Amino acid sequence: MSERIHSTGAPWRNFHGRIKGKALRPNQKAWLEEDLGALSPGPVDRDVNSGRKPIDLKSYFGEREIWLEIGFGGGEHMVHQAVRNPEVGIIGCEPYINGVAMLLGKIRASGAQNIAVYPGDARNMMDVLPEGSISRAFLLYPDPWPKKRHHKRRFVTQEHLGPLASCLRKGGIFRMATDIPDYVRQSLEEVPRHGFEWLADGPSDWRTPWTDWISTRYEQKALREGRVPHYLTFRRV
């Protein structure tokens, strides 16, 4: 069966998740109109006749090392990392437009100059990232899809991990944080099958946050509700 594609040339995919929430505030609408275009990492959705070629990251980030955050939520972690690591370029993917608007406000407030924003499905971005171009990737408190019949929608499946392994360079780091024990189980089963090794020698390695970690609003909600965060670190082999 031939692959279904949009008129843009991008593969046609089901997306299971929220695209928009409550009405945006006037300042959030202004941020989207005024800032988002300039922060684009490049033409992710390409015309079907020109094909889906890898994007030219050097034209955007120069010689910077490049990190990728998959589903940045409200953007607090990505802005924190961008300010802390100005020598790095960070691409963030998030289809939830309210989260994108929140991020744009944080970028304005921080003055960060090393962030690119793709307001869409991370799979589309990974399609056009050059092989081995990313040195670090983050998946922080992803949608848990708790029902068993929905586990195939989780990020830690072949549909996502294969492309991630392709764009992450050998020796690159993949960090995950989740408060869902079954998501941890599935991750430890699936991620190593796709070219990664889990970097853990003992319980403290998954119970203790990274030294450069900033607790997100999703983590704070989990803690209030009595759920335990897990911090998993994998290396591309």
Distance CA(75)–CA(217), nearest Å, equals: 10
| Tokens at 102, concatenated | 């929140």
Of 143, 179, 182, 201, which is the active-site residue? 143
Q: For residue 218, give the DSSP letter.
A: H
| Tokens at 183, concatenated | 């998501």
Q: Which is nearest to 145 in space by CA: 136, 137, 153, 135?
A: 153
Q: Are 101 and 27 in contact (CB under 8 A)?
A: no
Active-site annotation holds for 143:
yes
Q: Are 206 and 200 in contact (CB under 8 A)?
A: yes
CA quadruple 183, 188, 191, 196: dihedral sign: positive
Q: Which is nearest to 90 in space by CA: 127, 76, 178?
A: 76
Q: Which is nearest to 115 in space by CA: 79, 84, 168?
A: 79
Q: Are 76 and 214 in contact (CB under 8 A)?
A: yes
Q: What angle do CA 196, 202, 207 make, to 5 degrees?
A: 90
- Length in residues, the chain: 237
Residues involved in catalysis = 143
